[in-house]
Chains A and B, each alone.
With several copies, the nearest count.
Chain A
Amino acid sequence: MAKILASSKDAMAHVKSGMTLMVGGFGVCGLPENLVHALAETNVKDITLISNNGSVDNWGNGKLIANKQIVKLFASYIGENSELAEQFISGQIDVELVPQGTLAERIRAGGAGIPAFFTPTGFGTKVAEGKEARNINGKDCILEEALLADVSFVKAHKADKLGNLVFNKTAQNFNPLMATAGKITIVEVEEIVENGELDPDEIHLPSIYVNYIVKGEQYDRRIEKRTYSSATS
């Protein structure tokens, strides 16, 4: 069962230098911003970060990167962040590019107790270097290993007091997967409701994976690309 923490700052007691950290979100969407920004206020360093994106300059993961708190990053996409590009080119940060679907599946596998799996994704590419290749029933595949984290930071829309979670729209993305793969999983939410208020058929992630919940202090509601159509079109 989850414990409810008073603040994002309190959650930082669980993050130590040298740990592996997963951070949910797709770019800035569904990123656990209060937790990440609280970590940026600490002296924790030498973090291995697993997150789909490098995020944008000086916001979200970008803050941790600007602070040089990250020594290694697993991500599928590292555009939109010039500081990260610079650290990568100058060798200050080690980046392992992982195909997005393989990243998602490796994290799911970590949470689900599947130590490794074969996938066709990346066969014959740089991603396959150093990995076992095998043809299975006519498909050329490579062997990919599970990913686990010491701590996972997750953003959900609502939690009940046990720690059951629901997500909102495309802010779901990697969040529920990372919640399953953290030895300690810390979730920030917009709202905490009573047990029983969430329909048991509509919960996206059961409380069994959640260790701590905190109500996020502040939400920027940030958008990377504001695309809209005019009312008349």
Chain B
Amino acid sequence: MTGVSKKERIAQRLAKELQDGYYVNLGIGIPTLVANYIPDGMDIVLQSENGLLGIGPYPLEKDMDPDLINAGKETISTLPGSVFFNSAESFAMIRGGHVDASFLGAMEVSENGDIANYMIPGKMVKGMGGAMDLVAGSENVIVAMMHTSRDGKSKVLKECSLPLTGLKCVKKIVSDMGVMEVTPNGLVLLETAEGFTIDDVVNATEAKITVSENCLVGTY
């Protein structure tokens, strides 16, 4: 953990979910950091839902182009083989299941894979952007999140309390405490992060959680 923030550790662990040749959509926040941890020699193409396949690194200051941004509205660059397209084409790709994996943040996830990440009624209403399409379209939705709220309440729940972004769509959760898979029998704990025992994760989780026979401790 020395010198690496919780968010970066989550991003490093998320990167292990990548497979060579994947087309991936990285959501705003922690998932965006995954781009820094793509294993050497692995070919990954990043999709940006505002109309780009093949996101490159941030440009040099002198090369910033207002017409070249990612879905987080940051200036970016292209790579050899990048492609631009309109928003209908972009979501045809997403909704049609062509994006191999979608990593996104969440406020809450339930034990059956429901996700809430776009509004807190009466408090925060920013809109779902492309999140509802991403969770409905991808076979491989992986959530990056903090396991508990600032006041220690579990964000991995029996049922989400916030308005849903999607139903039964999350396949895996990578939190600052552990990695959980969503199975037909509920959540299964696969790994814990450094500094957390299996009991730590189970006790911090409101949802029913089963511990895998092969559960690893302190893997990231």
Contact = CB atoms under 8 A, between A and B. Distances in A.
A177 B88 contact: yes
A195 B81 contact: yes
A97 B192 CA distance: 37
A168 B78 CA distance: 13
A227 B74 contact: yes
B67 A101 contact: no
B126 A78 contact: yes
A28 B73 CA distance: 9
A78 B133 contact: no
B87 A52 contact: yes
A18 interface: no
B68 A113 contact: no
A157 to B, nearest CB: 8
A167 B125 CA distance: 31
B167 A29 contact: no
Interface in A154-200: 160-162, 164, 167-177, 180, 194-196, 198, 200
Contact of B93 (A107, A169, A174, A206): A206
Contacts of B82: 200
A164 B136 contact: no
Nearest to A163: B81
Interface residues of A, number: 78
B84 A121 contact: no
A195 B72 CA distance: 26
A180 B52 CA distance: 17
Contacts of B85: 172, 206
A221 B130 CA distance: 25
A175 B86 contact: yes
Contact of B66 (A29, A125, A204): A29
B90 to A, nearest CB: 7
B129 A77 contact: yes
B130 A99 contact: yes
B60 interface: yes
Interface in B32-70: 43, 45, 47-54, 57-61, 63-70
A209 B66 contact: no
Contact of A85 (B84, B87, B125): B125
Interface of A: 1, 26-30, 52, 75-79, 85, 88, 97, 99-105, 107-108, 110-114, 119-127, 140, 160-162, 164, 167-177, 180, 194-196, 198, 200-201, 203-204, 206-209, 221-231
30 contacts: A1-B43, A77-B126, A78-B125, A79-B126, A99-B129, A101-B90, A102-B132, A103-B87, A108-B88, A111-B92, A112-B91, A112-B92, A112-B95, A113-B95, A120-B137, A121-B137, A140-B167, A170-B50, A170-B70, A173-B51, A180-B98, A195-B80, A203-B83, A207-B81, A208-B93, A223-B69, A225-B74, A226-B75, A227-B58, A229-B59
Interface of B: 21, 23, 43, 45, 47-54, 57-61, 63-70, 72-76, 78-99, 125-133, 136-137, 163-167
Given A125-B163, A174-B86, A208-B98, 9 more contacts: A78-B126, A79-B127, A100-B128, A101-B87, A102-B133, A104-B86, A123-B136, A173-B86, A225-B69
